[in-house]
Amino acid sequence: MVDKTPKGWAKEGKFLVKTFKFKTFIEAIGFLNIVGTIAEELMHHPDFSLEKHSQLTIKTTTHEKGKLTEKDFELAERVNKILLR
């Protein structure tokens, strides 16, 4: 079986999780807003946690299925692509 976990993300039970560190609070919030737009496009909404004013953790799962699905992997891949811009 091929592990399709996107780079930098970790599987934690039924979740994909990644923490992003930014220089400022404003950068973290700006990134969160971009991810929010992607989530709306995909109609797949992750959980967010903002800590230490500039550390954002994104946690995604498909709640109605109780497990990871293609939607979670697609969201994670699209989030990773933001950082490549």
pLDDT of residue 35: 96
Q: What is the mean predicted confidence (pLDDT) over 68-84?
A: 92
Domain boundaries, the chain: 11-84
pLDDT digits (tens, 9 = 90+) for 20-39: 999 999 999 999 999 999 99
Q: How far is CA 78 from CA 1, 6, 13, 51, 84, in A?
A: 23, 10, 21, 22, 10
CATH for the 11-84 domain, from 3.40.50.300, 3.30.1330.30, 3.30.70.100, 3.30.1360.20: 3.30.1360.20
On the question of pLDDT at 1 being above 60, the answer is no
**What stretches of the chain adopt beta strand conformation (E)?**
10-12, 15-21, 47-51, 55-60
Distance CA(27)–CA(21), nearest Å, equals 9
Q: Position of tokens 């909404």?
A: 45
Looking at every residue in the chain, the average pLDDT score rounds to: 93
The C-alpha angle with vertex 4 and arms to 78 and 56, in degrees rounded to 5, equals 45
On the question of pLDDT at 84 being above 80, the answer is no
Quickly state the pLDDT bin for 4 (edges 50, 70, 90): confident
